[in-house]
Amino acid sequence: MTSAAQRALHAIDTHDESVRAWTHVDRDALQSAAAHPLHNGQPLNGVVTAVKDIIATADMPTEYGSAIYRGHRPVADAPVVLLLKQAGALIAGKTATAEFAFLGSGPTRNPHRLTHTPGGSSMGSAAAVAAGMADLALGTQTAGSIIRPASFCGVIGFKPTFGLVSTVGVKAVAPSCDTVGWFVRDPTLLTQVWAAVLGASAPPPSPKSIRFGVLRTRDWNFADDVSRTAVLDASQRLRQLGHNTRELQLENVVAETGRAQKVIMMYEALRSLLWEYTVHADLIGGASLAALDAATELTTADYQEALAAVETARCCINDLFEDADVIITPAAIGEAPLGHSSTGDPMFARAWTQLGVPTAAVPWTTGPHGLPVAVQLIARPNHDATLISAVQYLAEIGPNSSEQPASSAH
């Protein structure tokens, strides 16, 4: 029987020269695990795991996608990495990120079609899982950096409630919304990872008890037909199975929060990256440098106004979830765009990230160019177990999301 490590090594050797998902591969660890698989009863025993290269690893480089940190080696693992190791996960290497997980396109290509972006900033993690080079990959989200690449690459992306997963050892961009999450192909892995990282042991609720709702925010018409249709189709499928999915309304507050998130992210990013910006500006990529230049124009008053808008929206969250436990919205505008100069627009994830609610992307359909399109699921804060149950349910009733892409075939 082929081990997970053997399958991952084969996929890396076959695909990564073209996909470019990895910045560092621990081939010794993979080869050792392939030759001598361990069966120690740990929940993540042998699960091949990739770590986004803004998350500290003591035994591998952590370069933050930046020339400034070339060869940098932290002295300790980030807690989230250590917890996965303690649960038996095999840390296979580091995956490509946009510079500082902020802006820029990075080197990675979409494994479904190399001419298209995989999304960002967690592009390497999403692509590695999509191409079968890892079973699990850690990513981070400050605006839409888990949800969007998950949709573009056709994998499940999960962003927990803000603050539940430690960001110690993670390069800060905007501390008020930076969140560690993960990508998988197999939805059953979500519960094991959740238990390993949070110590949570209670089983997720039955999907039959979950109330679903559809939310058409003010940005709804910016989505392509395929993204809107995916949301409506998922809703119809649930109704066919006996769920009374409701149309929800909270348009203005969510839209305002999305705009506020841009101000908050830029204001905080300038301060998080102040040393890099003031001492090593010559080594920062053009997209990041231009954004940081623009952020110098933001005032404390601008920031406080944006924070106030978010607080107003947070006060309305309970109202939004009065008639639904899980909300369905578009995950992205549509399919992964052609080209690599942009990683796509995170408009459908921004507000939810800033509000700190748990969200997930579940592959649902393919677009007119044959590329994956997901729906986004959203739950109220600290109801992550409900969201996990909903993700697993939609993955079961919808199209098969565990099928690996024909990497490099197009």
Catalytic residues: 52, 121, 145
For tokens 């197009």, what's the residue?
410
For tokens 């102040």, what's the residue?
274
Q: Which of 97, 108, 100, 173 is nearest to 142 (CA)?
A: 173
Give the amino acid at 129: V
- The set of residues, in sequence order, having a beta carbon less than 8 Å from that of 150 and lying 6+ positions away, is 119, 126, 156, 157, 183, 331, 361, 363, 374
In SS3 terms, 38-103 reads as CCCCCCCCCCEEEEECCECCCCCCCCCCCHHHCCCCCCCCCHHHHHHHHCCCEEEEEECCCECCCE
Whether residue 89 contacts residue 77, with contact meaning beta carbons closer than 8 Å, is answered with no
Q: How far apart are the first and last CA of the chain?
A: 30
Diameter of the chain by CA atoms? 61
Whether residue 187 contacts residue 178, with contact meaning beta carbons closer than 8 Å, is answered with no
Where is 388: in which H helix or E strand?
Answer: helix 384-397
Neighbours of 29 (CB within 10 A): 17
Q: What is the DSSP secondary structure assignment for residue 185, as one 8-state letter?
A: S
For tokens 């053997």, what's the residue?
6
Tokens of 371: 């590329």
CA distance 232 to 371: 19
